[in-house]
Structure 1
Amino acid sequence: MKLVSNKKSKTLFLSSSSKFLNIEEKVNIIISPEFYWIRKFEIPVKTEKQAKLILPTLFEDIIEEDSSELVYQVKKIEENLYLGFAFDNGKIFEAIKKSGINVSNIDSLYFAQIECKDISSFSSANQNFIYTQDNILVKLPSNLPVDNSPIDNKLDKIDLSSFKVNIKLYNSAILNSKNLSFIYTFFILLALVNFIKYFSYKLETNNIEENLEKISKASSLPSSKIQTNAIINKYKSTIEFENKKREIISYFVSNSSLGLNFFEMDNNSLSFYFNAKNKTKIESYIKKKYKISSSKVVSNNLIVSISI
């Protein structure tokens, strides 16, 4: 199929039989009337937004599928006269994929009804299209012979309008109304569960605080945080001292190759007794982490003292 330029993007005509190869640049797509229903109607309203409200009822007698899955658009032609469009987002999306066009290469989509208004009849991918007496573009039956020239030869003359197809370029079947209802229900239930958990946690917290207050009074514990902090600070240095002592002892006991015989605790220092023949190895190991206060050999025992 021939591609022609339309400013920055190519313009393609998409029908159910279209096949495109090697489309790597950005494209605009004019979609065949196969992919949408259309109705011309009169209504005494001033805006397209007001006219759009009645579109679902206008298509009830001609659309058999679930109308809740359809997308509706409306274009004002003249005073009180409008064109209504209805289409299935998913079907157009599938046709685009089937044609070989990567959705990431699409700029915009347009209705052939609007964009081809200056071409009375044409063909595309062995299909024929013609405007009726009511100026509605339709696809002709394949067995009806018509002498039409390919639309590809005329795309470069089309000045695309500002009226674009309001389509989401993903499989809308994934997010249809049933699935959306399930998702909404799931999140509502999730929010409800979280609320119940929060409420339960709040009650449990209040109970804990009440119990703590009762225990504090029964045990004559400090009633304020300031008093509690004063007691903690009073014993903090003792706690740190004991923790450091435990850490030093663990450092030696964990390495059985040092040959530790026993150790002694004396006020602010620890004395460790090793086999003197490992003196160099032992001192090297200790210096990796601690400063040696004293080291001496007495009766084949290496005595190493470390200040805490």
Structure 2
Amino acid sequence: MILKKLQSNIQKLFFKKKASSENLKFVDKGMNNSSLQNCTGLILSTSFYWVKKEQLPVKKVHEAKKLLPAIFDGSLPDGNYKYIAEYAEESGWFYIYAYDEEKIAEYLESIGIDLTKIKRFYFIQSFIKLIEKPVDLKNGYSLVNDNGIICKLPSEFIEDSVSLDEFLKLASNYKATNIYISKRLPFSVDRSSILKISAALFIAAVIYIVEYTTYYKAYNKLVLENKNLYEAYNIPKTGYQRRARIKKLESIKDEIISKRQIFSKLLRIPLNRKYEFIRKLTLSDKRVSIEISLHNDKNAEKIKKYLEKILTLKSIKVKSKIMKIKAEI
């Protein structure tokens, strides 16, 4: 359903649009082009393209594309050619076109046509079904249907013809394959191209929906996990609160590290390990209390000098070979 809708919308935009009878004009080299300035649709004469009528071993335009350059091989003057094909189902013939888009654009601009204002371009060959009688171009030439190929012949050899205005009136209600020109970049759109564009858009839409669904599920899971973490560890919700808590924790960490370093140094007090030992060591906030069992009183002075490098000593008492120290960090 979605693919059909996309195809329908693209067809409305790009494929075989009806041209307005007021704005559809015919252009040929050497004609009076004064009436072309305000048109929005142009039919290009046989002077702007080469065409061949061929029967190919395929039935689809997209299957014939790779064969198109070979059909004109060696038969075209130098140029940078594009190739397109139309398939007539009722007859089984392919109409193969070769055209130099740069030269077409250059000529149209040289006669004052603003390509950006032209909505539709057609080859006159696409209107083959309308040209039952020759079309008089009023420039000494007429368009003639010669066995399925539109060609231009001198009007002096034509007896019965219709006017160009009559033809354009019929053409305005006829659906023909159009060639789009955006500035100097012409391109054609056929049904196979529409199917490819529609399929690409459909696939892109499916990929987007799948990715969005996957992302949405992952996002919800992440939000839930985040919420659980906040609740489990009592994490503050605002950035200000989190920064304050981090600062406090860092301060506590620094204090603990400092105390550990001091405690480590206290455990390395220069004692006679054979006879002396620490009886008691208390570290509370910034206060330190130490009791040391001495071998004799002589080592007390050595211990005092060591502790002065680490702590701020408040009192030292030595009695009965017991040294008691009170200090602050």
Question: Which protein is bigger by CA-based radius of gyration?
Answer: 2
The normalised TM-score by structure 2 is: 0.45
